[in-house]
A and B are shown apart, each in its own frame.
Chain A
């Protein structure tokens, strides 16, 4: 097991493995998106209170969930990089940040679009869920800006890892904000003690979209990590040999 993890964490091994992994994420992701979009838009019935506006959850919920998952991947990888000094961990953290920022933006934008017809406002500053999610977007921006501001990769890894770990405190705040404080945002619909509060005709497309976004995120993250590895290892012998041998083949 440890031998496998050790091998996976080796930059050349990961670089060569990544293109083989990507289709295993992309194909199921695309198929599930196709089903989820069709079922979410055309098969699921309109909600008795929200009408057709509820269909926005098929984009909003997967992107909100991914915004937090990407952050956890970033923070855990940063911690592993700090503690065990595994090179690939910092590459994972650096690769997860821009993707997390995009999905956080998507969650905020779709939430805002949903809020307009349902709450009568695009944004509510007093709402803890909205505000904490916006803070997470700023933490992502701060993380990326910090990395970009430091030329030395090792120093950038350390400084940004500390920021990622400090910002991780925001993730449980986002998740539990609807329980801890009074919020305009509705409470948990899926992760409830008594099971999901949704009819299966609405639930299955949502689960498909969550799974689809997770697979596609996996494909995007794998590609990003591969690029990050290539950039970090650009002065090493194996990268030079690989580029020269690829050139020789062409």
Chain B
């Protein structure tokens, strides 16, 4: 039988990673724009693919 504390610990870590992963793009888009030569409103809709597929 699993220890509840251990399972909840992993679930909490997964929750951390889930939200972290979904927002890397939102923060990175500020430096990605100049590097890729694209505007904020041009690049941001790419995040729709990630958000809509959740």
A and B: bona fide binding partners: no
Report B's interface with A, CB cutoff 8 A: none
